[in-house]
Structure formats: structure tokens, C-alpha cells
Amino acid sequence: MNCSEARRLPALLGALLRELRRGNGSGSGSGPGADASLYILLIMIFYGCLAGGLILAYTRSRKLESKHDPYHLYIERDWGRGG
């Protein structure tokens, strides 16, 4: 569907809004589907934060390791004098 025309975009957005308001019954209301979708959302957020924390901790540990690595200190101290 081409949305570049000025008249078709509001019609498309209106149809999408009507479809979302109507709902399909599983995500709206207080049925068992609402609890399941909330649980899945919370689990996804938890694992996303866990993965982000692990990536952040790994990158920070690599930075600290490279600064205080004895091999790099040896190269800087003994070979840096222009020998």
C-alpha cells in the first residue's frame, strides 16, 4: 500500500487505530491472555537488562585489563626508552 499520497495516509492510520481499539480479545481485558503477555514482557525486559549488564561489564573489564596488564607495562617501561 502506497502511503505517499496525502489522503491515503490518514485513512490507513484511521483503519489501524480502529483495528487496535477493537482488539483481538487476547491482549485486552482481564482474561488469561493479559497475564501471560505481561509475564512474557517482564521476562523479556529482565533478560534484556541482564544481557546489557553482561555486555557492559565485559567491555569495562577489557578496558581495565588492557591498562594494567603486566605485558603492556613491560613494553612501555623497557621498550619505550628508544632502545
Residue ranges in 23-81 assigned as alpha helix (H)? 32-67, 70-78
Distance between CA 38 and CA 26 in Å, rounded? 12
Q: Which residue has the cell 577489557?
A: 62
Q: Where are the domains of the chain?
A: 31-82
Residue 27 near residue 34 (C-beta atoms within 8 A):
yes
Residue 72 near residue 66 (C-beta atoms within 8 A):
yes
Residue 14 near residue 3 (C-beta atoms within 8 A):
no
Confidence grade of residue 55 (pLDDT, cut at 50, 70, 90) = very high
Question: Considering the entire predicted model, what is its pTM?
Answer: 0.42
pLDDT digits (tens, 9 = 90+) for 7-25: 787 888 888 888 878 875 5
